[in-house]
Structure 1
Amino acid sequence: MDYLYKSDHTLLRYAEEKDTALILEFIRGLAEYEHLLDRVEATAENLKTYIFQEHKAEAIIAEYDGVPAGFALYFCNFSTFRGRPGIYIEDLFVKPELRGKGLGKALLSCLAFLVKEKNYARLEWACLNWNKPSIAFYKAQGGQPLTEWTTFRVTGDELTELASRIGKL
């Protein structure tokens, strides 16, 4: 099978190495929508390395009438409480001119199918608090916001400082 899902207009398929530039285009499109384009450091080369050579993430490409329309980039996480892996969606993006055609629903449903097929525990993702259209979309698909959790991140100089402490223990 060359595809994960196919309907009259929509086709979902696993990304291949030849899609690297397309994935970067979608990442930039998402970053522009989120007003974060200046933060994109990804290059085609590091995407190729980490997605297709080291398999640190996977991607699904959505096509509409044969035209690349969006993608989902995801990786496995693990629930210690459930004792099973899950899938974390890093990015889910559909080009603005192709929204409302069911592509986002198809991508999310396809990932849910993969979770169930692999007997994983859950499907999760993050959404910017101001992004009301996406929050409404995710809630309509059965997503529940986790208001009792706060996400933390360490990058840049703080990451360097934190890492340097291991030599001081």
Structure 2
Amino acid sequence: MTSKCKVSYRFATREDISKVLYFIRELAIYEKMLDEVVTTENELEYWLFEKKTAEVIFAVVDNKEVGFALFFHNFSTFVGKAGLYLEDLFVLEAYRGQGIGKYLFQQLATIALDRGCGRMEWCCLDWNQPSIDFYLSLGAKAMDSWSTYRLTTTKLQQLAK
């Protein structure tokens, strides 16, 4: 463990839905995207615990959740293995700089390896230089020749017709 405080992690349970939504909103505030958060506790509960399409771990300090990571599995046809895709990682401002983000990454790496994953991937906003610097310090490489594309619900509906 490389953190400067005593930190542990735990997987979220169904009873943590309000905490998961809280961290999603805090991340959205940090990313200046709060107006894009439209999910509800009911939707999160359905997708995380009924459909089991994603998982959440919390960083815990003094019995308090101070950070979270939401991830799911993808698949690499080139590697021929599942991968771990990190959708969100966030540490409360008062707890930053104490190694908690790195600790969460270490736990995710361990989970990925324990599950036989071939790689771990995530996206980062171009303006978020503190996070970019952090990721580079871990040895991550930017996929500069790749761009992320998205179809929203309305566009999915139009395409499916």
Counterpart in 2 of 1:161? 158
Counterpart in 1 of 2:54? 57
Q: TM-score, normalised to structure 2's length?
A: 0.95
Q: Deviations over 1:3-27 (max 9, x none)?
A: xxx9962010111111110000000
1:101 shift after superposition? 1.2
> RCO higher in 1 or 2 (8 Å CA, sep ≥ 6)?
2
Counterpart in 2 of 1:79? 76
Letter in 1 for 2:94: E
Give me the CA root mean square deviation: 1.4
Change beyond 3 A, Cα 1:129–1:7: closer
Letter in 2 for 1:90: E
Q: Which runs of 5+ in 2 are unaligned?
A: none
Letter in 2 for 1:80: T
Identity of aligned residues (%): 43
Say which of 110, 113, 117 aligns to 1:116.
Answer: 113
Does 1:69 pair with 2:66? yes
Q: TM-score, normalised to structure 1's length?
A: 0.90
Does 1:103 pair with 2:100? yes
Q: Which runs of 5+ in 1 are unaligned?
A: 1-5, 165-169
1:158 shift after superposition? 2.0
Counterpart in 2 of 1:3? none
How many pairs were matched up?
Answer: 159
